[in-house]
Structure 1
Amino acid sequence: MAEPLRLTVIICAYTLERWPDVRAAVESVQRQSRPPDEVILVSDHNEDLLVRARAAFPSVTCLPSTGPQGLSGARTTGVDAATGDVVAFLDDDAAADSDWAARLLEAYVDPSVLGVGGAVVPAWRAPRPAWFPEEFLWVVGCSYEGQPRTRAEVRNPIGANMSFRREVFAVAGGFDSSVGRLGKDTAGCEETEFSIRVRRTHPHSCILIEPSAICRHTVTADRVTRRYFRRRCRGEGRSKAVVSRLARGGPALTAERTYVRRTLPAGVLRGLRDLRRGDRAGAARSWAIVEGTVLTAGSYVITRVRLAGSGRGRS
């Protein structure tokens, strides 16, 4: 009988402004029905946060990031220190359900599975705007309409709730800081680029989504404005352009093409149907889908042109 997999959970934090959320994230991990074998909190170049974390969480390994400032460098620092067979990542403003760890680990029974992500449910700190469509919940870092509702293979998990076998980092390397998030910046997609790299170095492997492995992701009032929605869409377009360059095409945008061709048109039609049924916000949701698509695609194209013009787009 195979030995049980050891689990390391990594939480990366960068600001004391989120301290209540950081505490909630750590406590949710400590309350797991299947406790992790190791919990690591990485402070992203914030000494005050590190000191406070070490005092508050004596059973947690609290480390300073040794990489470039930003989420990618902090995550890679955590991986370098991890000893578990599986390394799970939970955002500092997310809280895991009590069976989160157990659900993630269940999917690793198949040795070809190298990564598993879970569902990310929004925890609204302000009323959700009626115009905010399900198809764009990725704007606030959450699972969105169009993702699988049962366990299925995916290109990459959502970064707020994901895990990988630790051994893949030795071959594929760490997270690329050129696409990682820095503070409150709206860029990201480091998990997308990393997952593509994992699949290239392990061509017969797979990455799964396990929707029953749930975390609750805090959505603050500043993230439910149209201004943030637009800024986040533009940031996503820039990030996808960089990922596409790093991945040299191929699988970089396969998921997005399906999303644009199927999920978004269906969302626009659903909003219009809701309008006909008397829901005036249906039209606003349809428009948000159109606007978000145009902003994201436009930012992607502009960034690709800039990268090519600067010579960085050359392979």
Structure 2
Amino acid sequence: MEPTSSTAVSIVIPTHSEKRWTSLTRTIASARAQTHPAAEIVVVVDHNPQMAARVKQEFEGVTVLENAYARGASGNRNTGAFHTRTPFIAFLDDDTVASPSWLAEQLAPFSDPRVVGTGGGIIPAWERIRPQWMPDELLWAVGVSYTGMPTTTSPIRNVWSANMIVRREAFLAVGGFRTGFGKLGDQNRPEDTELCLRMSTANGGYWMYVPHAVIDHEVPAARSTFGFLMRRCYAEGRGKVQMAGLMPKDQELGAEKDYLRRTLPRAVGRNLIDAGSGRGMFHALRAATVVAAVFAAAWGGGVETLAGLFETSAVSGSVDNS
């Protein structure tokens, strides 16, 4: 299907390391194979001139840019997005493979002018076999869709930048992703969630989740360990507190509270019942993993809260002494 000017979309793919060359090649191939052809595919390289030169040399017909902002995925994505001129901008990570109908299906909800953005289902492509102790409710920790998300096309508070399409006008109106706020090093700030909240708040629009507009997302072996999960949950706890500090005081993290109060307790109960019914003791491990994940996130949130209090106290003391 040839897109009309009103449904034209550009695809932005951020990348940073030649270690991901093979997966980047697959991502670009899947972007080129869409039934709804993209007007432009933009690869943005994060402060790696040698890699940028190689991408330019090896991928004819692909626009290659270098991150115009500080190192990090937020600036990388903004560089590509601000370059585009189409009504819609799609984002893919460089370790994903989009299904052929991904763009076509995920663009459909934009027929409603109130929709500011959409996201689709993310399926794990495990490098190794999925750990038995990993519960479905915690799959978000490896960047894929998890139990508790809608199973049909539905409104949703936020989606993930690995599989996201935005209405360009709404994206530009809020200045894009918040640079300096994202995943870099051991930091895990939810820059995509923060963007979604700002975009929907700015004009009263909303996001739609299209679970059948799927991509595969690689899950390296290093992310299949219990230690990684605990570190990820701890970082998520810190990141959520940081994000809450950027939000208006009357805007609560309702989705997170519902997840903690309903989704996770149900996961513990269901897995304990399954373990007690003889369906496999790995269910008991999954129940224990959920409890450990909650404690890790709470620990991270507590550390970040205390850090914020100390910082506020230090600033107040400096002002008082001046």
Q: TM-score of the superposition, structure 2-length normalised? A: 0.93
Give the Cα–Cα distance (whole angstroms) in 2 for the partners of residues 113 and 106 of structure 1: 10
Aligned to 1:55: 57
What is the identity, as a one-letter code, of the residue corresponding to 1:222?
A: A
Give the Cα–Cα distance (whole angstroms) in 2 for the partners of residues 192 and 216 of structure 1: 20
- Aligned-pair CA distance for 1:142: 0.5
Aligned to 1:189: 190
Work out whether residues 150 and 210 of structure 1, in 8 Å CA contact, stay in contact via their aligned partners in 2.
yes
Query: What is the aligned length?
Result: 311
Aligned to 1:283: 284
Partner residue of 2:24 out of 11, 22, 25:
22
- Aligned-pair CA distance for 1:151: 1.0
Aligned to 1:255: 255
Aligned to 1:235: 235
Aligned to 2:81: 79
* Pairing 1:1-315 to 2, within 5 Å after superposition: 4-182=6-184, 185=186, 187-203=188-204, 205-278=205-278, 279-311=280-312
- Aligned-pair CA distance for 1:251: 3.8
Aligned-partner SS, 1:311: helix
Alpha carbons of 1:250 and 1:140: their partners in 2 closer, same or farther (altered >3 Å)? farther
- Aligned-pair CA distance for 1:176: 1.2
Q: Which runs of 5+ in 2 are unaligned?
A: 316-322
Q: Which runs of 5+ in 1 are unaligned?
A: none
Give the Cα–Cα distance (whole angstroms) in 2 for the partners of residues 59 and 163 of structure 1: 21
- Aligned-pair CA distance for 1:3: 5.0
Aligned-partner SS, 2:120: strand
Give the Cα–Cα distance (whole angstroms) in 2 for the partners of residues 240 and 286 of structure 1: 23
- Aligned-pair CA distance for 1:199: 1.7
- Aligned-pair CA distance for 1:309: 2.2
Aligned-partner SS, 1:302: helix
Work out whether residues 151 and 211 of structure 1, in 8 Å CA contact, stay in contact via their aligned partners in 2.
yes
Q: TM-score of the superposition, structure 1-length normalised? A: 0.95
* C-alpha RMSD over aligned residues: 1.7
Alpha carbons of 1:94 and 1:269: their partners in 2 closer, same or farther (altered >3 Å)? same
- Aligned-pair CA distance for 1:212: 1.2
| Max Rg structure | 2
What is the identity, as a one-letter code, of the residue corresponding to 1:304?
A: T
Work out whether residues 189 and 243 of structure 2, in 8 Å CA contact, stay in contact via their aligned partners in 1.
no
Q: Which ranges of 4 or more aligned residues in structure 1 deviate by more than 3 Å?
A: 248-252
Work out whether residues 12 and 75 of structure 1, in 8 Å CA contact, stay in contact via their aligned partners in 2.
yes
Aligned-partner SS, 2:188: coil
What is the identity, as a one-letter code, of the residue corresponding to 2:214?
A: I
- Aligned-pair CA distance for 1:4: 3.2
Give the Cα–Cα distance (whole angstroms) in 1 for the partners of residues 212 and 229 of structure 2: 27
Aligned-partner SS, 1:197: helix
Identity of aligned residues (%): 34
- Aligned-pair CA distance for 1:22: 0.5
